[in-house]
Amino acid sequence: MRVLRYLSACVLILAATACGSSSSGLNLSPTTIGTITGVSLNVNPPGVGASVTATATVSLSTGNSAAVASGFTSDTPSVATVTTAGVITGVSIGDVTISVDYQGFKASKRVRVLPNYNGIYYGTYTVDGCTETGDFVPLGYCAQLTSSATLPLAFNNAQSADLTTMAGQFAIGSLIGTATGAISSTGALTYAGAFVSGTSRIDLQNFTGSAPAVGQMAGHFEELWTDSAVTGQVFVSCTIHDMTRSSGGLTTSALPTRDTPSVPRDLLAAVKTSLRR
């Protein structure tokens, strides 16, 4: 059994004084010092371009524990770097093993770094195609969504600690709906949600996204517009452009101005107005 010599020195010299040690990398006091029995490590993966802090704890024969202040390493700095104090920064998509070593006791955890989709994103999307059926046909709905029309778009994403799931909001013009998503091991984002207002509904579907750079989003999605009070639907295929992370809460007033003046900012309101005529 290995007994800390540090304890004996403290008892003999300053029996009534707390014995801390910043150079040992372990935060201890006279009431917690004992034989080290093991070390544990807690790590969440960082998103690319984001940072998290790993924590480690040693277990002591006294039944107490103490935090480890240093000794953290990364086996793949090209995927994630880590400071000796445990601050991990994501560099690229991939697997990395984070370890901590204290007086011969070592703990490791392998995690996967994925894109950082967390936060508020503002940008635009273009219409690739539009089809309409039923009662939407005589309204000329798709005529308002001509090919290459540019429209405002926003996302408010809350990514899980393991980076694999997401929940949040999307804003198409002034219409804000809720959505959930999943991030694959390759970093691809799938996302689906809906905006509902009375009998009208917009489904955001078949969303495939990526992060071409830190703080950016790109991809494709579809909009399905329906209203249970009428027949038919409108199907719109779209491509995301110029989506960048911002600060502050999601607000439609911060959305970019549309490039096509003939397209109403709130298309759902325009359609519902037409339906009431």
CB–CB of 107/40 below 8 Å? Answer: yes
Q: Residue 185, Cβ neighbours under 10 Å: how many?
A: 11
Q: What is the pLDDT of residue 133?
A: 94
For residue 274, what are the CA distances in angstroms to 132, 135, 143, 277?
15, 11, 14, 5
- The 8-class DSSP code of residue 273 comes to H
Q: Residue 1 corresponds to which tokens in the numbers above?
A: 């059994």
Count of positions (residues) in the chain = 277
For residue 81, what are the CA distances in angstroms to 52, 89, 92, 110, 118?
11, 5, 10, 13, 20
Give the whole-angstrom CA distance, residue 81 versus residue 74: 6
Q: Residue 15 corresponds to which tokens in the numbers above?
A: 């029996």
pTM higher than 0.75: yes
Query: Which amino acid would we find at residue 63?
Result: G
The secondary structure of 160-178, three-state, reads CCCCCEEEEEEEECCEEEE
Query: Which amino acid would we find at residue 155?
Result: F
CA 6 to the chain's CA centroid: 44
Sign of CA dihedral 3, 4, 10, 16: negative
- The DSSP line for 101-137 is EETTEEEEEEEEE-----EEEEEEEEEEEEEE-GGGG
- Domain regions of the chain by residue span: 5-113, 119-276
Tens of each residue's pLDDT in the chain, 277 residues: 333 333 333 332 223 233 333 334 555 444 456 688 889 999 999 999 999 999 999 988 887 888 899 999 999 999 999 999 999 999 999 999 999 998 889 999 999 999 999 999 999 998 999 999 998 888 777 887 766 678 889 999 999 999 999 999 999 888 899 999 999 999 999 999 999 988 889 999 999 999 999 999 999 999 999 988 889 999 999 999 889 998 776 776 666 655 444 444 455 555 555 544 4
Looking at CATH, the fold of the domain delimited by 5-113 is given as Immunoglobulin-like (2.60.40)
Query: Which amino acid would we find at residue 61?
Result: S
Q: What is the pLDDT of residue 229?
A: 85
Give the whole-angstrom CA distance, residue 223 versus residue 132: 12
Q: Residue 124, Cβ neighbours under 10 Å: how many?
A: 20
For residue 40, what are the CA distances in angstroms to 70, 75, 270?
13, 18, 59
